[in-house]
Amino acid sequence: MMGPLRRVAGAVVRGVWERAGRWAAIGHRNAHARRFRSFGEGSAICFPVAALYGERYISIGAGTILGPYVSLSAGVSPQHELGDVEVVTIGARCLIGRGSGIVGHERVVIGDDVFTGHHVYITDANHGYEDPTVPPSRQFARSRPVTIGAASWLGHGAIVLPGSTIGRHVVVGAGSVVTGDLPDFCVAVGNPARVIRRYVEGQGWADVDPEVGDGPADAGDGPADAGDGPADAGDG
């Protein structure tokens, strides 16, 4: 008897949760969208949201989707007054994967058509540690702007740290940590992320020896195919 009841109850719970997800998502016609600096047509922040504040400093382009359990914030706290500025910009037709975090204190710019896998973290802020008498949780390092170029793809679990600049059409491998600059049209992996492939005009994609930089990798000892690196951002 309990078996059929459990199945019915389970179906009801799943149905309610699915409806809650549709009804509670923030779309461009939703009243919550008016709190943002701009919120593009056809965009949505999926339910549930892990954390969301500083909307008046955040712009989202058209046709962009932020997956469930995403954290999106501008400023140190909901009460933080930053003036008439745009702190976080997310372009058009982006997909930010489930469980990802975007934290802006000064400036984070994500270009159009950027996709990420799940649990990607992007921030321009960090904690300090220099004063040994104060816990690092109460020390703040200077914020440094972050830019991610159009049409880039960040694999599952990638981290983009303060001061990083990622060029256009860049693939960042799963689990990589970006700490500096990555040029246009490249593939980068590791901690810290290093370029292993670049697009060369008239030649196509070529392996790069990460120890040398722009030099070609040895044909026998080159890195594994970049297709094995990044997670499928389409799952985001």
Is there a catalytic annotation at residue 127?
Answer: yes
Q: SS3 sequence, 147-182?
A: EECCCCEECCCCEECCCCEECCCEEECCCCEECCEE
- The H or E element containing residue 14 is helix 2-24
Catalytic residue among 118, 127, 156, 169: 127
- Token pair 């200077």 is found at 142
State how far the Cα of 114 lies from the Cα of 103, in Å rounded to an integer. Answer: 17
| Count of all residues that appear for the chain in the document | 236
DSSP three-state, residue 145: coil
Active site residues: 127
